[in-house]
Chains A and B, each alone.
Chain A
Amino acid sequence: SQQGEEDPQALSIQEGENATMNCSYKTSINNLQWYRQNSGRGLVHLILIRSNEREKHSGRLRVTLDTSKKSSSLLITASRAADTASYFCATVGTGANSKLTFGKGITLSVRP
């Protein structure tokens, strides 16, 4: 299965701390994406990293990709209460008909 697996399943931190979330996958990918989902809402795209990239930044977000270990991490620096949400990694395989496949998600709680 291409499905990514996030780790940990749940994370609780204090406002201002950094949050690190990890994702592992099983087969070769075209790209890996991170999405955020607030409770009862749709998903919001955060960042896309391609298989030939190792690191990307967007504001307080930093994503790394290690294709040799088939893993990615999402770092949120200086977390805020508004960052409280579920975070999903999603992968696209290298096959012609590959689709975006989501992991089960990580629940992040940021305490004020």
Chain B
Amino acid sequence: DAMVIQNPRYQVTQFGKPVTLSCSQTLNHNVMYWYQQKSSQAPKLLFHYYDKDFNNEADTPDNFQSRRPNTSFCFLDIRSPGLGDAAMYLCATSRDLVSETQYFGPGTRLLVL
């Protein structure tokens, strides 16, 4: 059974055209994360939600925003995608503390033309 679901799996957008990636979870976890992973690099944390509390990483560009309307869903909005934003975007959850095991979705591959 799918636990962390990401849609779409592949997303193509145009330079500067806003795009939204979605993530949903069936685990009822309190914490949801968004990571950016570029080719052959480590996943880089963009931000996370602890319940409704939003926690932005200091080096996450303003171009990246997130919404969590309820426990199950979390969205990543890229307001004006640039060529450098092409990457795999990974959503993850953990039950409670940030230090616990994280459960990842399959990722959304974003291509910017």
Contacts and interface: CB of A to CB of B under 8 A. Distances in A.
Interface residues of B, number: 23
Interface in A73-112: 88, 92, 97-105
Nearest to A45: B101
A15 B103 CA distance: 28
> What is the interface of chain A mostly: helix, strand, loop, or mixed?
strand
A31 interface: yes
B42 A103 contact: yes
Given A40-B109, A44-B104, A45-B103, A92 B42 contact: no
Interface residues of A, number: 23
A100 B102 contact: yes
B81 interface: no
A31 B104 contact: no
Nearest first, the 5 A-B pairs at minimum CB distance are: A42-B104, A102-B42, A92-B99, A43-B104, A42-B106
